[in-house]
Structure 1
């Protein structure tokens, strides 16, 4: 693969069937993906950053309520340009990834609508490192010290390895259609720290023990998982700890808005200040 390759970006913007997300309810919107973050709907913000990455070509937004998202100005402009298409979300995250990947040109960059702090430079760094590693699949990680330097309460969950602690950045790489089998890891929703049985199902009991005990480096664990799937999976460590902070609840929304206001000023239009007592 050359450096001029263009990847296809999947932006996952689905919602749980029959459940109104608490952030959406508080913001008075129908789905989390359009909750404003410093004045801009989060899906619009993420798509703008993805579109500004020189290594990204086509963009696909996978959503259950396509119409509401497609009407947002940034989304509508990219649709008119022919660069972005909407894909109907499926019942779960894995089938939604499969739907988004159908007919797409590989490799795929997968990110989520709540990754409001990832920049075009962050996506470019991830893509370049995946290509350099010859990755069949990859997950973006950030070091605990970098995440806590970005914000001390922005992320509370970390994976412990012998070579340090890392947080997931909700950014993934699928190098080929064969690598789609790795998406099965997420069928039960990921969240391996909270639900270790999911590691057993996805990776096997021995790898669960190694993971929970902190035995081995992240590279060794990914190499063992690679043998299980039959292609090369790699961990990609990104330089900026902000990339591990996503909008998951009121606490992380408040943190994200605080960081964005430092970057770009207050664009909330006089919206109520975040509740400092909120937690999650």
Structure 2
């Protein structure tokens, strides 16, 4: 399946100034230097170097910022990279691209701060997400703590463990539009978030709250409720959930890169 997966690299800016970007004196967070180069360069190269990835779409409100920066100008010139100007939210931007038929499925989505993204992570995720309409990569708490006990993450607690997002998402078909539309509602009005959860069914919601539901089972049931196949990919690499979100993350990532 050489070159059959499209990739979206999220490189947008939040409405409020990002602390890392402000401290580094750069226009947007993906230009913040990590281990000597803008953080976006490493995940971009990982995607372009992977045999299953064809086109890489960089979704951002500031494509000019990357073309103007000498260290990232190569992205603007690369034949397999194109820039798309994003809107106010990720979900709304994805839906607009799907509406305009500007996406070829399947699509792998990741973020510019996923600096440690590598071949092994992509191999596992693409391999296990194949055939799903929606797939989400997560890291179980024990996997991370065994290697990096100092790394602080936000954990979702279920009967099958605590889970943290790995910034890898799979959009396998146009049926995923239903899930992305729900995501858009949460983005637009986070106060409606509990209503979105309730839409998956009261038993699913109560089960999650009481930790009597597994994340794998809950995702599968939520997908069936939407008429699609949703899948959890439990990542083997603890580094999969370490993104460059805070200064302490950057310090840890640079130590990991130096050890490699």
Aligned-partner Cα distance in 2 for 1:34–1:189: 25
Q: In the alignment, is residue 158 of structure 1 matched against residue 155 of structure 2?
A: yes
C-alpha distance in 1 between matches for 2:215 and 2:51: 29
- Conservation of the 8 A alpha-carbon contact between 2:60 and 2:86: yes
Question: Does 2:46 align with 1:49?
Answer: yes
Indicate conservation of the 8 Å contact 1:15/1:31, yes or no: yes
3-state secondary structure, aligned to 1:230: coil
Shift of 1:220: 1.4
Indicate whether 1:251 and 2:251 are aligned: no
How has the CA–CA distance of structure 1 residues 56 and 71 changed in structure 2, closer, same or farther, with 3 Å as cutoff?
A: farther
TM-score normalised to structure 2 length: 0.88
Cα RMSD (Å): 2.4
Query: Hey, what does 2:10 align to over in structure 1?
Result: 12
CA contact (8 A) 2:198 2:205 kept: no
Q: How far apart, CA to CA, are the structure 1 residues paired with 2:9 and 2:97?
A: 9
Name the CA shift for 1:7/1:15 in 2 (closer, same or farther; >3 Å). Answer: same
Show structure 2 runs of 5+ residues with no match: none
User: What is the aligned partner in structure 2 of residue 36 from structure 1?
Assistant: 33
Following superposition, the deviation at residue 106 of structure 1 comes to 0.4
Tell me what 2:67 maps to.
Answer: 70
* DSSP-derived class of the 1:247 partner: coil
When normalised by structure 1's length, the TM-score is: 0.82
Q: Which 5+ residue runs of structure 1 have no aligned equivalent?
A: 264-280
Name the structure 2 match of 1:82.
79
1:125 aligns with 2:136: no
Q: How many Å apart are 1:77 and its aligned residue?
A: 3.6
Q: Distance in 2 between matches of 1:42 and 1:55?
A: 22
